[in-house]
Chain A
Amino acid sequence: MTTETPTSPPLLRLTDISMSFGSTQVLTDVSLEVRRGEVLCLLGDNGAGKSTLIKIMSGVYQPKSGKIEVEGRPVTFTSPRDSARYGLATVHQFGGTFPLMTIGRSFFVGAEPEKGFWPLKRFDRKFANEVAVREMRQLGITRVTDGDRLVGGLSGGERQALAIGRAVYFGASILVLDEPTAALGVKEAAHVLRIVMAARKKGIAVVFITHQVTHALTVGDHFAVLIRGAKAADFRKGEKSREEITDLMAGGEAMAELEAELDAYENAHEGHAPQIA
């Protein structure tokens, strides 16, 4: 785009994205942008529209209106492969890998390296294993040295590293991480956050989707909060405190109301908090 600021256009920009399924409005005029070497944290409670937005970015859904630009060029993603062609890679919560395949094999699924001549072309296991281990090592996973190990034997963080390493190796410049820390323990989550930092350092634009404010604050440069399908806030690192963000995510007043309700309940029940299912 020629009307841009002197700096280069953002790697990925969504403008006024709206989406509905039947009569249900899921996203309303959501605009986001993320630059090279930057982590954009997309925060939102369950049902805020995060998953729909991810699916739009990864080409699973086409938005009803709005536009998507990659490096300033307008694009439409008609399939996941389409979105991958523009350098977007989506990594899901469990890494989207194959538990009973070896690390090297699963790293190259669908893009197998081959050696030899047709019709006797062979899967290049040695190369695959070396690359997979090397890419994981570059993301700080030093515990994995054998590409013949099964993916299912890796920890949650290591699987994320495998998936992220794969995306980076195959030229992803924009990583969409869907709740990468949600299913992990504290230590593993810290590991994944380190991997995110490592990816950022490589100049990759990261869209980090989460509902864990602490994790977001640790790695984020830029934050956007989704509430009921609309962007409720957009701010940079250091502009808002943890409490403010949590309040925002829960819908501001709603949180205050809930707290008042809880207080009232506790008073009425001799200090016992209500039971949470």
Chain B
Amino acid sequence: MTSQDERGARGRDGAIAVKPSAPPRFDVGGLIRRPETGALIGTVGVLVFFSIVGGRTFLSSAGVSSWLNVAAELGIIALPVGLLMIAGELDLSVGSVLAASSMTTSIVSGNWGMPVFVGILSGLALGLLVGAANGLVVTRTRVPSFVVTLATNFSVAGITLALAIALTGSTSSSLSAGEPAKTLLGSLIGGQFEVAVIWWALAVAVVGWLLHVSKYGNWIFAIGGDLESARTMGIPINGVKIALYMSSALGAALVGVIQAILYNGAQVAAGQAFVFNSIIAVVIGGVLLTGGYGSVVGIVMGTLTFAIVNQGIYFSGWDANLASLILGLMLLAAVLMNNTFRRMALSYSPKSKPVEQGRR
């Protein structure tokens, strides 16, 4: 291509010949551009902080398992919730879905004595069903997902409570799962680490692949970045959103099932903390609340940060209630820091500077 226009541009810039040769693959710009940079700083920060304040037990395997277990359960939910947020939607119904699935598994296999795999599948299927309902209502009615999923959270909680009382006469149910369900979902590795940690690692691999390696990630970013453009470019928006709602509900259902098997039973009031905790983890992880920006590594970092602060406080010898204060402040600081990094990412253009100087 040697059109006049291009030669004109080259001639005017002039500096193309003197620009530095291609920078190394891992440059500062590359780091700044990443959504998880702020989250990484946060995670390392709290880890160092609580290692100092919490003493040696914090880094012992008992200490690590205490926050890694919290991170694993939260992480399984935060990953798909993060995907949804990148696509520009929220899911506030994960709390009730967790409780409903947990109760379903426990009632089906505990109270009714069916094989445990039937209970597990019922719990997970219930999650998928609620997720599909969320997705359908959000895409069909265009009511903001905040409202739709908040309504779902209340409705599902209500149904769960009413049905639990009607079916079992109690707000809790007990279940003793046999093998191999116990080993696969509800055991403690080395007596300390929940098997959920492995499920979380699997989820990280799958979601990481989906978001950053497969083409579907591009769809998710595009939907969250500019819905109308994404639609005109032929992306099946409603299908993607429904699938994402089903995956966030499936994540919540999986944690519900894991809890039912691990704790040998379920309660109707479980899980509500996950609603906001998952959002906190995702936002600390550098995902933009309004969509279009974020990363799986960031979500993992945000989840770890949350868990470390949440559990680290017990090792510090301080009032445990301070954990919420620290998390609240961290959330605010994280958003401010992530905004700064995002601005830097937008304005950072490693190779333009010499050219611009050449123009003057």
Interface residues of A (CB under 8 A from B): 80-81, 96-101, 105-106, 108-112, 114, 121-123, 137-143, 145-146, 148-150, 152-153, 194-195, 197-198, 201
Contacts and interface: CB of A to CB of B under 8 A. Distances in A.
B225 A96 contact: no
A80 B149 CA distance: 32
A142 B10 contact: yes
A105 B221 contact: yes
A123 B213 contact: yes
Nearest to B30: A148
12 contacts: A99-B346, A100-B221, A109-B218, A114-B215, A122-B213, A138-B3, A143-B352, A143-B355, A149-B33, A150-B33, A194-B5, A201-B3
The listed residue with most A CB atoms (<10 A of its CB), out of B30, B215, B352, is B215
B93 to A, nearest CB: 27
B1 interface: yes
Contacts of A198: 3, 5-6
List 8 A-B pairs, minimum CB-CB distance, nearest first.
Answer: A98-B225, A110-B233, A112-B215, A110-B234, A140-B5, A100-B293, A152-B346, A109-B222
Interface in B68-127: none
Contacts of B10: 142
A142 B6 contact: yes
B218 A108 contact: yes
Given A105-B221, A143-B13, 19 more contacts: A99-B225, A99-B292, A99-B346, A101-B222, A105-B218, A109-B219, A109-B229, A110-B234, A123-B214, A139-B5, A140-B5, A146-B349, A149-B348, A149-B349, A194-B9, A197-B5, A198-B5, A201-B3, A201-B5
A194 B8 contact: yes
Nearest to A149: B349
Nearest to A152: B346
A123 B215 contact: yes
B150 interface: no
B342 interface: yes
Contact of A137 (B1, B213, B234): B1
Contacts of A197: 5
A153 B218 contact: no
B144 interface: no
Contacts of A109: 218-219, 222, 229-230, 233, 235
A100 B234 contact: no
B321 interface: no
A109 B220 CA distance: 10
Given A140-B9, A152-B346, A101 B215 contact: no
B218 A100 contact: no
Given A96-B229, A99-B346, A146-B350, A110 B5 contact: no
A122 B214 contact: yes
Interface residues on B, range: 35 or more
Interface in B230-252: 230, 232-235
Residue among B217, B222, B232, B288 having the largest count of chain A Cβ atoms under 10 Å = B232
A110 B345 CA distance: 24
Nearest to A201: B3
Give chain B's interface secondary structure class. Answer: helix
B151 interface: no
Given A101-B221, A109-B233, A110-B230, A121 B346 contact: no
A145 B10 CA distance: 13
Contacts of A121: 214-215
Nearest to A59: B232
B6 to A, nearest CB: 5
Contacts of B3: 138, 140, 198, 201
Nearest to B235: A110
A2 to B, nearest CB: 35
Contacts of B13: 142-143
Contact of A100 (B292, B350, B351): B292
Contact of A80 (B232, B288, B346, B351): B232
A153 B222 contact: no
B214 A101 contact: no
Interface in B120-156: none
B347 interface: yes
A101 B9 contact: no
A57 to B, nearest CB: 13
B44 interface: no
Contacts of B5: 139-140, 194-195, 197-198, 201
A39 B228 CA distance: 27
A137 B6 CA distance: 8
Interface centre among A100, A122, A194 (most CB of B within 10 A): A100
B162 interface: no
Nearest to B356: A143
Nearest to A141: B9
A112 B218 contact: yes
Interface in B326-348: 342, 345-348
A113 to B, nearest CB: 8
Nearest to A197: B5
B16 interface: yes
Contacts of A99: 225, 292, 346
A180 to B, nearest CB: 16
Contacts of B351: 143, 145-146
